[in-house]
Structure 1
Amino acid sequence: MVDMGGLDNLIANTAYLQARKTSEGDSRELQRRRRGLMLPGPQSCAEIRRALPRDFHGLCEQQPIGRRLFRDFLATVPPYQEAVAFLEEAQGWELAEEGPDKDSTLRGLVAACAAAPAPERPHPFLSPALATRCQAATSDEERAGLVALAKAEAMAFLQDQPFRDFLASPFYDKFLQWKVFEMRPVSDSYFTEFRVLGKGGFGEVCAVQVRNTGKMYACKKLDKKRLKKKNGEKMALSEKEILERISSPFIVSLAYAFESKSHLCLVMSLMNGGDLKFHIYSVGTRGLPMSRVVFYSAQMTCGVLHLHSLGIVYRDMKPENVLLDDLGNCRLSDLGLAVQIQDGKPITQR
């Protein structure tokens, strides 16, 4: 007797794995679809050019496309690229493990700030007063404080003339074209749906593939009737709004959001490594080695700290909500219970 349930599951798994394989390759069909992905012309950007606030933080830090194009623009101007190179080296120093190499990098950073790249041409992003203080620094504690000041001056420098030049460049025109492209309506016909990855109280999560690009995502489908019955509409909208604000490698990211007649859909990062509960209880010997505990704890802490920096409280930390990717890195997921803290107002809701 044929096990129809098992057969259906086998077919679903095969289709899903084949879709993942296709998305990683470059089939002729995908090539044809990608050629149809044309950015709108510059003439269609006039309205968004007027309406979009010219805010450095919003354009060049929060938005991945803006951040990428701003960096590409800075790379075309040597004095601007000099500031970027310093910030990258300073970030590398901050993230390095404690030890002689980190101390050596710190001294190199301060020495670079103290020494002009050429006679009569000081660093464009540093004030002469700070360069003089770097020359006189003697302790690592003093050097660390000076690097922090130099980072602040470098960021202030990039937000001034370089940012104005970026707004007048073709790189910003390209950014506007991408923003107009992002505003095109998205519906379920934009995706091919594959197997169900999990189920919850308000719906299910399934694997989907963007038809035009072949890229795989996880789609959280929230049933409108269940949301209304359980008064979950506010929670669903809150999760969408919070996901829109987040930009962290340690939290699942929102790629698309749309609604059908029956569902609210949040299309997010696809995490193929399973959840942490599965790895703790179902893979090999029960439990995790201490090295992995430290690794995952550090990544989860980075995700929580990012949320706290935005005034958001997660409120749902558990192994089931920590998902792993193909490389073994973890991300926090399911922000349905997360809340935004309002200044001076306590949170009293459940």
Structure 2
Amino acid sequence: MCDIGGLDKLVANRAYLKAQIQDDKEMRKQRRTLILPQLENCTRVHAAIPKDFEDICERQPIGKTCFRQFLLASNPEYLAAVEFLELNDWNLAEAGAKEKAKFCKADSKSFLSYLTEDIVEKCKAVSEKDFEEMLMGQVKEAMQEFLRGKPFNDSPFFERFVQWKEFEKQPISDKYFYEFRTLRKGGFGEVCAFQVKSTGQIYHIGENGIEIERIIHYTAQITTGILHLHAMDIVYRDMKPENVLLDSQGQCRLSLGLAVELPNGKTISQKAGTKGYMAPEILKHEPYRTSVDWWALSCSIYEMVASRLPFRDHKEMVTKEEMVRRTLVDECKFEHENFDAPSKDIISLFLKKNIEDRLGCK
């Protein structure tokens, strides 16, 4: 025997596993939908693609992947360039001084052999404090200049990039997905879990929360998105993990169902959002602007760490009145073992009941 909560979990897990394990014949059928168009059918796209190195090889995910595959298949000399590009993706934040310096040392396997003698000498003379700036400045520019001259545009890898760009133009419809579970119902419809037929990819959050490295990554991306909205005088108003979608690269995309534009310093007092994420000023029907998004972000960070909201236990049934009381009166507690000092600090700074004290609102 099991309780209703356990039964719900059992049903959900079984649906998840069923979605993951497909018939091989069906999977092969769905994968055929990923067949790329023939090159002769891509002439218009090919002609329209600007021959811009930074745009194709660094900014576009497909172009970036194809270009690096080209480098790895072309010449062993390019291996160091690929290694540098991978390190650059993280802005060298995690690399130590020795890890960074190896690209400028002639006796290193990772030496960028096409660097001029002048740049190599500057790397030797520069202080450790300024080395990263040097690496991301003159060294990176020299590497880009060298790679620009490579015949990527005449390679099969560029042709594959063109095929993918043509493939991207196809409209996406419900035939690409399996709907296998309704996660939650709300006033604007249902939130459902879908599986991509061709890849079988599904994303979910377990009851133990997410590892802290992913939380930092997601929070940074979400914060960037919120700041971009605020710069356009748009208030999100419904920030919560369920409204954050992940693309195939693991990048965050925000769903903007309740967003509102408030130009020229205009405020609003309309009640909007989701129970447990709404800021005190919304609950008190006070005029507000962007402050509500930072409160909701802190609730979302808390939920990613502890798999519960700051003022409601996991799966606890709470009335609207009690939820309002807790939000306005109670102090946030950090009882989950996953909380560390930095996560407690950032949540506490965002979760200030007084707008003037809240991070992002000063």
Bucket of the pairwise TM-score, normalised by the shorter protein: 0.5 to 0.7
Match of 1:147 among 121, 132, 135: 135
Report the counterpart of residue 271 of structure 2 in structure 1.
Answer: none
**Which ranges of structure 1 fall in alignment gaps of 5 or more residues?**
217-269
Q: Aligned AA for 2:136?
A: A
C-alpha distance in 1 between matches for 2:152 and 2:184:
44
Is 1:113 equivalent to 2:107 in the alignment? Answer: no
In the alignment, the residues of structure 2 paired with residue 11 and residue 296 of structure 1 have an alpha-carbon distance, to the nearest angstrom, of: 26
Structure 1 residue 40 corresponds to structure 2 residue 37: yes
Separation (CA, whole Å) in 2 of partners of 1:144 and 1:295: 23
Residue type matched to 2:86 in 1? E
Letter in structure 1 aligned against 2:140:
A
Out of 217, 223, 234, which is 1:299 matched to? 217
Secondary structure of the residue aligned to 1:299 is helix
Among candidates 53, 58, 73, match of residue 56 of structure 1? 53
- For the residues of structure 2 that align with 1:73 and 1:67, how far apart are their CA atoms? 10
Partner residue, 2:165: 179
The alpha-carbon distance between structure 1 residues 304 and 57, as it changes in their structure 2 partners (threshold 3 A), is farther
Superposed, 1:137-216 pairs within 5 Å as 137=126, 139-154=127-142, 156-157=144-145, 160-162=148-150, 165-211=151-197, 213=198, 215-216=200-201
**1:191 to 1:301, Cα distance in 2 relative to 1, 3 A:** closer
2:255 aligns to what?
334
CA contact (8 A) 2:176 2:196 kept: yes
* 1:210–1:198 Cα change, 3 Å: same
Match of 1:123 in 2: 113
SS of residue paired to 1:177: helix
Tell me the CA shift for residue 11 of structure 1: 10
Range that drifts further, 293-302 or 186-195:
293-302
- The answer to whether 1:30 aligns with 2:27 is yes
Q: Specify the code of the residue in structure 2 equivalent to 1:302.
A: A
Separation in structure 1 between the aligned mates of residue 229 and residue 176 of structure 2, nearest angstrom: 31
3-state secondary structure, aligned to 2:179 = strand
* 1:187 positional shift: 2.3
After superposition, the Cα gap between the structure-2 partners of 1:66 and 1:158, relative to the gap in structure 1 and judged at 3 Å, is farther
Report Cα offsets for 1:225-275 as digits up to 9, x if no partner.
xxxxxxxxxxxxxxxxxxxxxxxxxxxxxxxxxxxxxxxxxxxxx43115x
CA contact (8 A) 2:57 2:67 kept: yes
Match of 2:343 in 1: none
Q: What are the superposed Cα offsets for residues 205-231 of structure 1, whole Å, 9 maximum, x if unpaired?
A: 2122344x2524xxxxxxxxxxxxxxx
Distance 1:204 1:63, change over 3 A: farther
Query: 1 or 2 for the larger relative contact order (CA 8 Å, sep ≥6)?
Result: 1
Count residues with an aligned counterpart: 255
Is the CA contact 2:57–2:63 (under 8 Å) kept in the aligned structure 1? Answer: yes
Separation in 2 of the partners of 1:273 and 1:324? 12
Aligned to 1:95: 93
Deviation, 1:332, is: 7.1
Q: RMSD value over aligned CA atoms? A: 4.5
| Structure 2 CA distance for partners of 1:145 and 1:317, relative to 1, 3 Å | farther
Tell me the alpha carbon deviations over residues 4-51 of structure 1, each in whole angstroms, 9 at most, x when there is no partner.
x99x9799747732443315xx72331344246422111101111112
Given that 1:312 and 1:339 are in contact with CA atoms closer than 8 Å, whether structure 2 keeps it comes out as no
Identify if the C-alpha distance between structure 1 residues 200 and 71 changes in structure 2 by more than 3 Å, giving closer, same or farther.
farther
> Per the alignment, in what secondary structure is the counterpart of residue 172 of structure 1?
helix
**Structure 2, unaligned runs of 5 or more:** 269-362
Q: Secondary structure at the match of 1:179?
A: helix
Supply the distance in 1 between the matched residues of 2:211 and 2:81 (Cα, whole angstroms).
37
Partner of 1:230: none
Q: In structure 1, what is the Cα distance between the partners aligned to 2:58 and 2:26?
A: 35
* Cα shift readout 1:144-203 (whole Å, capped 9, x = no counterpart): 3322224432453266213xx211211111111122222223322333322212234432
Where does residue 125 of structure 2 map in the other structure? 136
Q: CA deviation at 1:86?
A: 2.8
Q: Counterpart of 1:17 in structure 2: which amino acid?
A: Y
Q: 1:67 to 1:324 in 2, by over 3 A?
A: closer
Q: How far is 1:347 from its partner? A: 7.1
Residue 86 of structure 1 corresponds to 84
Q: Percent identity?
A: 30
Equivalent of 1:104 in 98, 109, 116: 98
